[in-house]
Amino acid sequence: MLNRFLSRCLLIAASVVVLPAFAGKPNVVILATGGTIAGAGADAAKSATYQAAKVPVDKLIAGIPALADVAQVRGEQVFQIASESFTNEHLLTLGKRVSALVKQADVDGIVVTHGTDTLEETAYFLNLVVKSDKPIVLVGSMRPGTAMSADGTLNLFNAVNVAASKDARGKGVLVAMNDELNSGRDVSKMVNIKTEAFKSPWGPLGMVVEGKNYWFRLPAKRHTVNSEFDIDQIDALAPVEIAYGHGNVGDTAYRAFAAKGAKAIIHTGTGNGSVSNRVVPALRELRGQGVHIIRSSHVNAGGFVLRNAEQPDDQYDWVVAHDLNPQKARILAAVALTRTQDSKELQRIFWEY
């Protein structure tokens, strides 16, 4: 009897010893889409000359052994592209995969690795359409992994930490770059050659330092679980284009976009979304044909368009983009137009999101 008891104790002890290191830790899925964080160059001294989207997700994960101390991590290669080539179809595919994963009980958080050129657009899209309070964190890098002082490894480690954190729940889609935690709704790429490239005009939500999150503010706009939009009910995004305002601008681009089937045109105006008197007649004509005109601004940080302050928006039946930059305004319009064609409803949506 004593020998049997000792044998059972040894078996129990052995089973405890062989448990994997990540037992009991959160489950985080990394969805890889390419970009600089998966890039490689031939010269370690070159941080801006390289090929994006070369390193597969399994190698990214294997390059950070410390991830096993944070979470049980697995990866999926959704795309392997440079983000300037992202299309509406890529957004829908990625969004539906994120939506499917966050419904699983064995998934606690999602990390999306992404090229920085359109990272802010994807972050805002997911913020609008994924109905979950689980952490969804986008991450990229400004330097390829082969460069000296590459930033991708720490950025990815931080992103996994955040996605595994209970205190990151319910804050909308986040972007973890350069130790900052920004809202996917607000953040934009402001610089193209520095690691502190991503900024929000209203400041970050928090910081992540040595695996710990520090929060300073919460997002005020509707997102994720409080959004009226649902990726599972969207099969195609509305065609929306962006036309850039500048001195001596003409109406050629606006008319061309409308002729190609655009349902809305984001006017990227100077200052307060200003519209040249050379362009106003064309925009009024296009609105009369059913094309929505949405005034945004190309002021780099904090462009804020006031309704009826520069143009009589009520009279012309135009929409203002509030504080959204042109690329984010395009995302919101493309999503909103899947639900309504009413300009007053569109304006409500721009105020609330």
Catalytic residue among 33, 113, 116, 118: 116
pLDDT the model gives residue 307 = 97
- Determine whether the annotation assigns residue 116 to a binding site: yes
Three-state SS sequence of 272-304: CCECCCCCHHHHHHHHHCCCEEEEEECCCCCCC
Write down the pLDDT at residue 23: 58
Q: In the predicted model, what is the mean pLDDT of residues 129-156?
A: 94
Exactly one of 36, 113, 268, 270 is catalytic; name it. Answer: 36
For residue 43, what pLDDT band results from cuts at 50, 70 and 90? Answer: confident
pLDDT of residue 16: 31
Residue 188 annotated as binding site: no
- Give the pLDDT of residue 9: 40
User: Does 58 count as an annotated binding residue?
Assistant: no
Average per-residue pLDDT for the chain? 92
Whether residue 19 has pLDDT greater than 60: no
295 within 8 A of 305, measured Cβ to Cβ = yes
116 classed as catalytic: yes
- Average pLDDT value for residue range 147-154: 91
Given a contact cutoff of 8 angstroms between Cβ atoms, the answer to whether 254 and 225 are in contact is no
pLDDT tens by residue, 226-246: 999 999 999 999 999 999 999
15 pLDDT higher than 50: no
* CA neighbor of 188 nearest in space, from 99, 297, 48: 297
Q: How confident is the model at residue 303 (pLDDT cuts 50, 70, 90)?
A: confident
Backbone angles phi, psi at 185, to 5 degrees: -75, -40
pLDDT of residue 2: 37
36 a catalytic residue: yes
Domains annotated for the chain, with CATH where assigned, are: 23-226 (3.40.50.1170), 239-352 (3.40.50.40)
Q: Which residues contact 163 (CB under 8 A, 6 or more apart)?
A: 26, 28, 71, 108, 109, 110, 111, 135, 136, 137
Say if pTM beats, i.e. exceeds, 0.75. Answer: yes
Average pLDDT over residues 100-108: 98
Q: How far apart are CA 300 and CA 223, in angstroms?
A: 24
Would you say the C-alpha torsion 194, 198, 201, 204 has a positive or negative sign? Answer: negative
Instruction: Give the Cα separation of 222 and 6 in Å (integer).
Output: 60
- pLDDT by residue (tens digit) across 274-294? 999 999 999 999 999 999 999
